[in-house]
Amino acid sequence: MKCSFCGNEVEKGMKYCPLCGAEVKEETPENQTPEMENHDEPNNDYSYGQSSSDPNGGYSYGQSSSDPNGGYSYGQNDSNPNSSFNYGGKSGNGYSQFNNGQPEKQISGTPYIIFSILVTLCCCLPLGIVSIVYASKINSLQNAGDYEGAKAAAKKAKIFMIVGAVGGLIASVGLFATGYISDSTTVQTVENMLDEDADTTDSRDDVTETDDKETTKEPVTANEDLGDSWKSYTVQINDAVVTFPCEVSKLEETGLTLDTDDKSEDYVINKDDYELVYFRDSNANSLMFIVSNKTDSAKTIKECKVSGIYVDEYDVEDGSLTVIFPGNIQVGMDISDVEAKWGEASDVYEGEYSHTYSWYDEDTYNYCTVSVDPETKKVTMIDLDGQDLQ
């Protein structure tokens, strides 16, 4: 006799196939009704076959388990509402890819990630990042079978995404409104100025060339105390000449005072050290100086000496300050004129954006460095330091 389910040879008299566990039915004549098996034993603890309706639970290996009190079922169908584990079929509360016979609705994390990134880039960076974190968890939680966790992550990602987008939109509208008000105020101010100019047009037409010349600053000529060689360590600031190194009080005679917004008067410089310190004039124009401490103890800035100066094109571009180096060398001159006065540089470095010409004192560590624009060959910065002479 063969099993009708798997085709295995089954000995006569066996109720179940030893290979697949299916119930074996004996062949009966066409006019004979087969005898039905009774599976209603109330205390059946172990069922190996197709069906188990044991009201007290147990272990079922087969196609169906309707055990109302839980248990372990391995087969095709489990209608047990309290089942804790089901492998291979449909389970309401167990570990399965189906819920009550229906497949769980999948959540795609890709749209959440895309919109979270857009919120981060265009609207609100902090909330967008949080949204990205939750969106990235959706797929991984689903793959692990935690659909509730995936739904919760998607919900949080959506909340932070919406809040970030709305907050960014509100902020943008506020900035636009503020900018609009400012622009409107500016337009009204300009219109008022034009009206005032229209009333004074005739008086402005009477302005002579003499008045223009009086408002133009006269060029500063080199002082006779200014040296010719860079090794003289002399610098002319407007009309006054200082020789480095000098006392802070000597520098202040040029009309410059310590910029306390950068460093206070009590700022301490360690022994055998230096600091870059700003001094400014009454019009808030600043120049940077090298203040050195060559003593054996720490000193305040006022107690140290000014040993050098650093000037670039931005410090003197408006003409409010004039700085002249030895030989009447100034920022904006051609490098060929500098070498004509100071001789050939000790070292030249040609970078992509700037060329550097350096002169060194053989007897000391003092130096003078000039930066040059590679295209125009014009001087853009001069750095002179004589701190080793103290």
Per residue, the 3-state secondary structure of the chain, as one string, reads CECCCCCCECCCCCCECCCCCCECCCCCCCCCCCCCCCCCCCCCCEEECCEECCCCCCEEECCEECCCCCCEEECCEECCCCCCEEECCECCCCCCCEECCEECCCCCHHHHHHHHHHHHHHCCHHHHHHHHHHHCCHHHHHHCCCHHHHHHHHHHHHHHHHHHHHHHHHHHHHHHHHHHHHHHHHHHHHHHHHHHHHHCHHHHHCCCHHHHHHHCCCCCCCCCCCCCCHHHCEEEECCEEEECCEEHHHHHCCCCEECCCCCCCCCEECCCEEEEEEEECCCCCEEEEEEEECCCCCEEHHHCEEEEEEEEHHHHCCCCCCEEEHHHECCCCEHHHHHHHHCCCCEEEECCCCEEEEEECCCCCCEEEEEECCCCCEEEEEEEECHHHC
Q: Which amino acid is at 337?
A: D
Range in 66-80, 313-327, 360-374 the model is least confident about? 66-80
Range in 18-32, 65-79, 274-288, 324-338 the model is least confident about? 65-79
226-245: average pLDDT: 94
- What pLDDT score was predicted for residue 340? 95
Confidence of residue 91 (pLDDT cuts 50, 70, 90): very low
Confidence of residue 313 (pLDDT cuts 50, 70, 90): very high
Asked if the model's pLDDT at residue 216 lies above 90, the reply is: no
Which of 160-164, 170-174, 186-190, 241-245 is most confident? Answer: 241-245
- What pLDDT score was predicted for residue 336? 95
pLDDT in tens, 23-74: 777 655 554 444 444 444 444 444 444 444 444 444 444 444 444 444 444 4
Range in 26-30, 229-233, 247-251 the model is least confident about? 26-30
Asked if the model's pLDDT at residue 83 lies above 90, the reply is: no
Which one is predicted more confidently, 36 or 286?
286
Calculate what percentage of the chain has a pLDDT beyond 70: 66
Confidence of residue 197 (pLDDT cuts 50, 70, 90): low
Q: Is 386:245 a contact under the CB 8 Å cutoff?
A: yes
Range in 74-83, 87-96, 129-138 the model is least confident about? 87-96
Which one is predicted more confidently, 249 or 33?
249
176-194: average pLDDT: 54
200-216: average pLDDT: 47
Asked if the model's pLDDT at residue 100 lies above 90, the reply is: no
- What pLDDT score was predicted for residue 19? 65
Calculate what percentage of the chain has a pLDDT beyond 90: 36
Domain ranges across the chain: 46-103, 109-171, 230-389
Q: Is the pTM of this model over 0.85?
A: no
Asked if the model's pLDDT at residue 5 lies above 80, the reply is: no
- What pLDDT score was predicted for residue 231? 92
Range in 108-117, 181-190, 275-284, 288-297 the model is least confident about? 181-190
179-185: average pLDDT: 50
- What pLDDT score was predicted for residue 188? 52
192-212: average pLDDT: 51
167-188: average pLDDT: 64
| CA separation for the pair 298, 291 (Å, rounded) | 13
The answer to whether the peptide bond before residue 103 is cis (omega within 30 degrees of 0) is no
pLDDT in tens, 250-259: 999 999 999 9
Average predicted confidence (pLDDT) for the chain = 75
Q: Is 284:308 a contact under the CB 8 Å cutoff?
A: no
Confidence of residue 115 (pLDDT cuts 50, 70, 90): confident
Confidence of residue 149 (pLDDT cuts 50, 70, 90): confident
- What pLDDT score was predicted for residue 212? 46
| CA separation for the pair 389, 62 (Å, rounded) | 102
Confidence of residue 92 (pLDDT cuts 50, 70, 90): very low
